[in-house]
Amino acid sequence: MSMEPARRADLEHELRARGYRVTSTRRAVWDVLRFAHRHLTAYEIVARTDAAGRRVDLASVYRTLDLLEDLGLARRSRLLRSEADSWEVAHADEHFHMECIHCGDVDHHVGALVAVIEDHLGKDHGFDVYEVELRVAGRCATCREPRASGRRA
């Protein structure tokens, strides 16, 4: 499930490759993002840099995230339950998110679903698809009312 973690060197490599400077601000944001176990908003990233003793300004976080997205290192997504954009380390796989409205977990669903949708629209509607966004909210298996099985949380 969790592939090997993104490395600090990934950032430095991409920055240098495109002529950007390697700065402590960019490292701080990247470190927060690559060690996070969930999606983070810009504001949450600031909180975590604070906690790590390296305060980064919110504006710089936004600028850095835009850059990381451009470098292919970060991915932005807008979850159903949040007004703010959320960020995660970019995966190679096409995937969409299933948000549990009970525990708040966000599952990554990797699959052909998006490709199937594109295909269907292209064939049946002559629609040339550039972008598909699929977002799902509900209850994850763990949080469903425990009917058949015993244990309660």
One-letter amino acid of 81: R
For a copy of itself, the closer CB: 22 or 137: 137
Would you give the binding string for DNA spanning residues 90-129, x where CB under 7 A is met? ----------------------------------------
- Residue 110 dihedral angles phi and psi, to the nearest 5°: -95, 130
Query: Given the rule CB under 7 A, which of 16-24, 92-100, 103-111, 133-141 is the region that contacts DNA?
Result: 16-24
For DNA, the closer CB: 4 or 131: 131
**What residue 33 binds from a copy of itself, DNA, none (CB within 5 to 8 A, per partner kind)?**
none
Per rule CB under 7 A, is residue 44 in the interface with DNA?
no
Cα torsion at 138, 40, 89, 4 (round to 10°)?
Answer: -80
Q: Which SS3 state, helix, strand or coil, does residue 146 take?
A: coil
Per rule CB under 7 A, is residue 63 in the interface with DNA?
yes
The upper half-sphere exposure of residue 24, i.e. CA atoms within 13 Å in the direction of its Cβ, equals 7
Could you tell me the smallest distance in angstroms from the CB atom of residue 69 to DNA? 10
Residues that bind a copy of itself (CB under 8 A): 80, 98, 101, 107, 109, 113, 117, 120-121, 125-141, 144
Q: In terms of Cα–Cα distance, which of 9, 25, 8 is closest to 64? A: 25
* Rounded Cα gap, residues 49 and 70, in angstroms: 22
Cα-based distances in Å from 1 to 7, 55, 98, 106, 108:
17, 32, 15, 14, 10
For a copy of itself, the closer CB: 8 or 144: 144
Could you tell me the smallest distance in angstroms from the CB atom of residue 100 to DNA? 20
The residues facing 73 across adjacent strands are none
* Rounded Cα gap, residues 100 and 49, in angstroms: 27
Give contact residues for DNA (rule: CB under 7 A): 15-16, 20-26, 41-43, 55-60, 62-64, 66, 83-85
